[in-house]
Structure formats: C-alpha cells, structure tokens
C-alpha cells in the first residue's frame, strides 16, 4: 500500500512539473513589441536607423481584417496583399507569420515586405494568432493551421496555386512555422476548423520556410562590432532582393510574375537585417 502511494505521488509530481502554468493568461494582448518601440530602443546605437515605410503600389490590392476563424477568446483576422493584374497562371501564395516572442507583435509589422512581394507576383497573407497571454501553447499553431486551410478554401478567389503555398515567419513566427511543419499531420483535440480527409496528402505540397541566417554573425555586425538590429518591417531580408531562404522542401518556388509591373528602385527597398 505504501509503495502504491509513493508511486501515485511521484506520478502527480511528474504531471505537475510537466503542466503549463496559466499564471500568464491575462486575456489582454501584449502590445509592447512593435516597430516604434524597437526603433526607439536601437536608435541610440544606430543613429541612421530608419523605419521602413509602407509602400503605395497602384498595381496591388490590399484587403485587411478578413475573419478566418473564431476561437473562444476572439475572432482571428488576416490581411491579403495580391497583384491587381489578372493572370492566367495561378500564383504562389506566401503565408507570413509575425514574431514577438509568442506573446506580442501584430500582423501589420511586415506590411512593406509583403507589399514588395505582392508587387513581384506573389499573393501574400499575414494572419494574427492567439498570443501567450490569451491561450496556452499550442493554440497559436492551431490558429496557423486554420489559416492554411483558409488559404486553400479561398485559393480560387485569389488565383492561388494550392500546390505552391509557402509558410514563413519572423522570429516566433518562424518557430511557429517549424511547429506547424512538424504537426501538420496531427489533428489535435479541439483544433479549430474543419479538417479535410485529404489534409495529409495536401500537407506534402506545402513549403515551410524559416529564417536560415545566410550571413554569419560576423557578416551581420555593424560598426563597433554590434550585430545589426532587426527593426525593419521586413526582417527576412531585402524585399525584392536576391536573398535566398530555403525551406524544408528546398528553395521557395519562383513567383508567377505579373506582366512587367513597375518595380521599386533599389533605394526604396528596406535594408534590414534578420535573426534566426
């Protein structure tokens, strides 16, 4: 009897230590990680630092705050940036996930990057997801999987090739990408959205991209030996440049480019660093 009690106590202790704490669930989104705060934090060491402004391209369409699923906490929304020009060739989609340590950040942080990519012929989608002050892990992963299903469901509306969907992200968004890639075949209890029977087959058609850190830390150092900050709204590199980011399925597919759209000049492209 005594031995059984000890075993039960050990099991309870193990479960307790493995359980997630709900102490940080406040129900309020942390907005501390944003472009303005990061700019002010790094400006002293980098006085020439500039915030990348949003682009105004007449040849792309922007749709914001589209509802893609409802959770017990709130309705989740996403934004779509797509080429305005009609194309007979279906386009590659990029689902880009914002960063912020899983507890902060917002989907507007990478607008300039996505505007640039849309100008090159990609259909870009950036979703919000439940942060760690709203719901426990892996809620955010479930949300991104729901966003992927939304992209597939609405592929015809945006002329998206369902065989060419890229999932990428910055910082925590890149980590979330890794989790989605690892769990794409797993249907978790309580996961949102209707799960299609063929989801496992479709999963093989996704390209998952995380920041690869093509440059060494030494290459990324600025004056004074400091690593360049990742303040810009396009933290995976210069939008429209030859920066290469590889995914789990190899290099990201080339976009279906619109017929000779106006192109941003080199000086208009955001010159920002990345981490990963």
Listed residue (100, 86, 96) closest to 207, CA to CA? 96
> What's the average model confidence in pLDDT over 74-84?
97
Q: Report the predicted TM-score, pTM, of the whole model to 2 decimal places.
A: 0.68
Least confident of 18-22, 84-88, 218-222, 270-274: 270-274
Residue 108 in domain = yes
> What's the average model confidence in pLDDT over 114-139?
96
Contact 143, 75 (CB under 8 A): no
- pLDDT at residue 257, rounded to an integer: 43
Report which of residues 235 and 69 the model is more confident about.
Answer: 69
- pLDDT at residue 3, rounded to an integer: 63
Tally of domains in the chain: 1
Q: For 213-258, write each residue's pLDDT tens digit.
A: 433 344 444 444 444 433 333 333 223 332 323 233 333 344 444 4
Domain range for 255 is 35-259
- pLDDT at residue 59, rounded to an integer: 96
Report which of residues 217 and 98 the model is more confident about.
Answer: 98
Residue 275 in domain = no
> What's the average model confidence in pLDDT over 25-31?
91
Listed residue (169, 24, 32) closest to 105, CA to CA? 32
Rg for the chain (alpha carbons), in Å?
Answer: 21
Residue 109 in domain = yes
Cβ neighbors of 40 (< 8 A, separation 6 or more) are none
Residue 15 in domain = no
Residue 60 in domain = yes
**pLDDT, averaged across the chain:** 73
> What's the average model confidence in pLDDT over 22-34?
90
Listed residue (273, 264, 187) closest to 229, CA to CA? 273
Query: In this structure, what CATH number is given to the domain that contains residue 229?
Result: 3.40.50
The answer, yes or no, to whether residue 34 has pLDDT greater than 60, is yes
Least confident of 14-23, 126-135, 214-223, 258-267: 258-267
Residue 5 in domain = no
Residue 199 in domain = yes
- pLDDT at residue 73, rounded to an integer: 85
Question: Other C-beta atoms within 10 Å of 154: how many?
Answer: 16
Residue 251 in domain = yes
The answer, yes or no, to whether residue 269 has pLDDT greater than 70, is no
- pLDDT at residue 70, rounded to an integer: 94
């Amino acid at each position: 009897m005594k031995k059984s009690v000890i075993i039960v106590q050990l099991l309870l202790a193990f479960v307790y230590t493995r359980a997630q704490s709900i102490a940080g669930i406040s129900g309020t989104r942390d907005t501390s990680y944003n472009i303005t705060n990061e700019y002010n934090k790094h400006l002293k060491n980098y006085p020439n630092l500039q915030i990348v402004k949003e682009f105004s391209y007449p040849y792309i369409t922007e749709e914001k705050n589209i509802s893609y699923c409802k959770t017990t906490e709130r309705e989740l929304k996403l934004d779509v940036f797509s080429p305005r020009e009609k194309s007979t060739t279906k386009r590659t989609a990029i689902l880009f996930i914002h960063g912020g340590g899983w507890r902060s950040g917002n989907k507007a942080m990478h607008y300039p990057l996505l505007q640039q990519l849309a100008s090159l012929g990609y259909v870009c989608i950036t979703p919000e997801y439940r942060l760690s002050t709203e719901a426990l892990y892996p809620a955010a992963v479930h949300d991104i999987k729901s966003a992927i299903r939304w992209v597939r469901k609405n592929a015809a509306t945006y002329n998206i090739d369902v065989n060419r969907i890229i999932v990428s992200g910055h910082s925590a968004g890149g980590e979330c990408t890794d989790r989605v890639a690892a769990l794409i075949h797993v249907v978790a209890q309580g996961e949102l959205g209707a799960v299609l029977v063929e989801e496992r087959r479709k999963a093989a058609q996704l390209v998952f991209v995380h920041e690869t850190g093509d440059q060494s830390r030494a290459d990324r150092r600025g004056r004074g030996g400091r690593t360049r900050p990742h303040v810009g709204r396009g933290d995976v590199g210069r939008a429209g440049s030859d920066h290469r980011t590889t995914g789990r399925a190899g290099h990201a597919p080339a976009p279906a480019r619109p017929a000779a759209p106006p192109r941003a000049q080199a000086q208009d492209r955001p010159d920002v660093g990345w981490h990963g």
